[in-house]
Amino acid sequence: MSRRSEDCTVGVLYCGDLGAALARTLTEAGIRVVTTCEGRTRQTQERAEAAEIEILPTLDAVVSTADVVVSLVLPNAAEQVARQYADRQHLCPRESLFIDANSVDLQTISAIQTILEKANIRFVDAAIHGGAKTLKQLGVMYLSGRDADDARAIFGSAVRAHSLGDQIGQATRMKLLMAGLSKSLNLLFLEIAILAHEAEMSDQFLSESRAFYPGLMTAIERMLPTYPQHASRRVMELRSIEEMARSIGAPHQIVHSARGLLQAVAGAWEDELRATSVLDISQIIAIAAAAMTTSDPDI
């Protein structure tokens, strides 16, 4: 492809939180962005409108218009979106590029690669680390595959983008590595915070943690409040990290323990979120502590 970002049209499928954040960031960088809300929820429509991007009537229209399509859906829908795109190969512009930026495991990325290669569609494996709310300030887009440099040339004007080489799967591996680090740190903190709560020292523990480890606590207080939402999905992400470690014979005891802790408290957090939309860090700790009193102590 080797064209400038301002000469490209990027299609985003679809405008969930991260998809809308990416679309908005690209638009602000002067890149034309299109999407469709065909068959999607009202919330998707509202996010697309708020991102001020061009909404086309159908998926066919997005495929035929966009030089680059980025898939950002729930992990269990990633293969379906890739297959829908491949089935419309006859509509694609010349040398179009499909980018999977979903939080999927290595097996799924391999399956998507097979689907797209059979349709002779250029494919880049991507992973966005940093979250929707901090995408522009802190986010990074990892890219891998033979066309990763082309993708970096397009997206690099809007977000920090790194090409990790020609091998499909490297971006997904980097996503798993970074997720393993952040989730393990957050869940180690949570475990100690639960201990402090049970010792009736929660406020003092939080205060002293902020005083002695300000950098760490800035990260914890940014990330941990996002954990109750989609907690069960994060359990699956940690399981994917374990599977990656097992496949290459690497240690994963801490990740395994982190997954066990998250699995034990996920349901309690999600139940609480049905009654309130926001939980602060003290509430998150208290709910987790209560959940752990009814769970297997050796989980």
Where along the chain do its domains lie? Answer: 5-168, 173-292
**C-beta atoms surrounding 220 within 10 Å:** 22
pLDDT surpasses 50 at 297: no
Q: Are strands 68-71 and 140-144 parallel, antiparallel or unpaired?
A: unpaired
> What average pLDDT score do residues 208-230 get?
94
Report whether CATH 3.30.160.270 matches the domain 5-168.
no
When the candidates are 1.10.1040.10, 2.60.120.460, 3.40.50.2300, 1.10.1840.10, the CATH number that belongs to 173-292 is 1.10.1040.10
Q: What percent of the chain lies above the pLDDT cut of 70?
A: 96
**Residue 2 confidence (pLDDT) above 60:** no
Q: What is the pTM of this model?
A: 0.86
- Asked if domains 5-168 and 173-292 share a fold, the reply is no
DSSP string, the chain: ----GGG-EEEEE--SHHHHHHHHHHHHTT-EEEEE-TT--HHHHHHHHHTT-EEES-HHHHHHH-SEEEE-S-GGGHHHHHHHHHHTGGGSPTT-EEEE-S---HHHHHHHHHHHHHTT-EEEEEEEES-STTHHHH-EEEEESTTHHHHHHHHTTTSEEEE--SSTTHHHHHHHHHHHHHHHHHHHHHHHHHHHHHTT-HHHHHHHHHHH-HHHHHHHHHHGGGSSTTHHHHHHHHHHHHHHHHHTT---HHHHHHHHHHHHHHHHHHHHHTT-S---HHHHHHHHHHHHTTS-TT-
Tens digit of each residue's pLDDT (9 = 90 or more) over 251-296: 999 999 999 999 999 999 999 988 887 889 999 999 999 999 865 5
pLDDT reported for residue 130: 80
93 versus 133: which is more confidently predicted? Answer: 93
Is residue 6 scored above 70 in pLDDT?
no
Q: Which amino acid is at 279?
A: L
pLDDT, the chain, mean: 92
Report whether 172 contacts 125 (CB < 8 A). yes
